[in-house]
Structure 1
Amino acid sequence: MLLTYDALDLTEVRGRAPVDVLAGVDAGFRVVDGDRVVYEDPSFPVVELAWSLLRWLDQPDRGDFVFDSMSFEEPGALTVRRQGAGWVFGSVFVPDVASDPVSWGEVERSVRAFTRRVTADLTAVGLDATDALRYPPAR
Structure 2
Amino acid sequence: MIRYSLRCRNDHGFDSWFKGADAFAALQAAGQIACPVCGSTEVRKDLMAPAVRPARKAHGAGLREGDGRPDLTAPASELEEKLAALRRQIEENSEYVGMNFAAEARRMHAGEAPGRAIHGEARPDEARALIEEGLPVTPLPFLPARKVN
Same fold per superposition (TM over 0.5): no
Q: Which has the higher contact order (CA 8 A, sep 6+)?
A: 1
Q: Judging by fraction of residues, say which structure has more strand.
A: 1
TM-score bracket for the superposition, by shorter chain length: under 0.3
TM-score by length of 2: 0.21
Q: Which has the larger radius of gyration?
A: 2
